[in-house]
Amino acid sequence: MSKYPLLIPAAKESTAPLALLPVIFVGSYPDATVQLAPRMPEIALLGRSNVGKSSLLNGLFGRKLAKVSNTPGRTALINVFQLPTLYLLDLPGYGFARVSHSERARYRKLVRGLVEKRKTLSGLLWLLDIRHDPSAEDREYGDLVAEQGLPMLVAVTKADKLPFGQRKQRLAALCRALALPEDQVQLTSSETGLGLDDLAQSLLAVGAAKEE
């Protein structure tokens, strides 16, 4: 890791909604207590591995913030990105099959620490794949967030993988299964760009709300 925060250059040729937004990679941290300066709202990104998180970030920012591949063995680090008005706390995906018991436990502890103790955390962006019913871990982490009363923005990913007519149905089923209000849920596709503008606005609104 670099000794200095790393400026990720704007994606000038990209039409991604946040292509021109300055982003700094602050660093990777093994626990949820890292102090960030200046103080700004923080949003943690949560979802099972392969849900499309890296692709969604690339789709929003028009550049690679995170590697698109998963690296087992680095499962319990928080990657911190600084935007002008908020921080994104990118968590590794959960549910990765080839992860040892102790690593899974460490991951759970990391998320618990973040959700239960981190006072600067404003909310979460939770990613769910439109094609899959919620997994046991989806439910576990969803419950954890709900217990703390933290606001949750939900991005349902890979909408392009389903025919148009099935999307609404799947969305409704996911919302029912997880007791999510549908107006908190954004249908997205990193492939087609569907929903990315709206999601970008929702994210930035978190920063804007806390500035006043």
Ligand X SMILES: Nc1nc2c(ncn2[C@@H]2O[C@H](COP(=O)(O)OP(=O)(O)O)[C@@H](O)[C@H]2O)c(=O)[nH]1
Binding footprint of Mg ion on the chain (CB under 5 A)? 54
- Helix-then-strand count for the chain, H and E: 5, 8
Given the DSSP bridges, would you call strands 78-82 and 87-90 parallel, antiparallel or unpaired?
antiparallel
**Cβ distance to ligand X smaller for residue 54 or 186:** 54
**From the list 79, 82, 157, 186, which residue makes contact with ligand X (rule: CB under 6 A)?**
157
Q: Scan for tokens 């549910």, then name that residue.
A: 95
**From the list 17, 27, 41, 52, which residue makes contact with ligand X (rule: CB under 6 A)?**
52
Closest contact distance (angstroms) between CB of 45 and Mg ion is 10
The alpha carbon of 177 is separated from its chain's Cα centroid by a whole number of angstroms, namely 20
Q: Is 62 in the site for ligand X (CB under 6 A)?
A: no
Q: How far is the C-alpha of 17 from the C-alpha of 46, rounded, in Å?
A: 21
Q: What share of the chain is helix, strand, coil (3-state, %, to 5)?
A: 35, 20, 45
Exposure of 212 in the CB half-sphere (CA atoms within 13 A): 4
**Cβ distance to Mg ion smaller for residue 54 or 190:** 54
**From the list 108, 132, 161, 210, which residue makes contact with ligand X (rule: CB under 6 A)?**
161
Closest contact distance (angstroms) between CB of 15 and ligand X is 16
Q: How far is the C-alpha of 114 from the C-alpha of 30, rounded, in Å?
A: 11
Cβ proximity of 93 and 125 under 8 Å: no
Q: Is 68 in the site for ligand X (CB under 6 A)?
A: yes
Cβ proximity of 71 and 93 under 8 Å: no
Closest contact distance (angstroms) between CB of 13 and ligand X is 21
Among 24-32, 102-110, 184-192, 204-212, which window interacts with ligand X (CB under 6 A)? 184-192
Among 9-17, 28-36, 37-45, 152-160, which window interacts with ligand X (CB under 6 A)? 152-160
Closest contact distance (angstroms) between CB of 208 and ligand X is 26
Which residues make up the interface to ligand X (CB under 6 A)? 47, 49-55, 68, 70, 93, 157-158, 160-161, 189-191
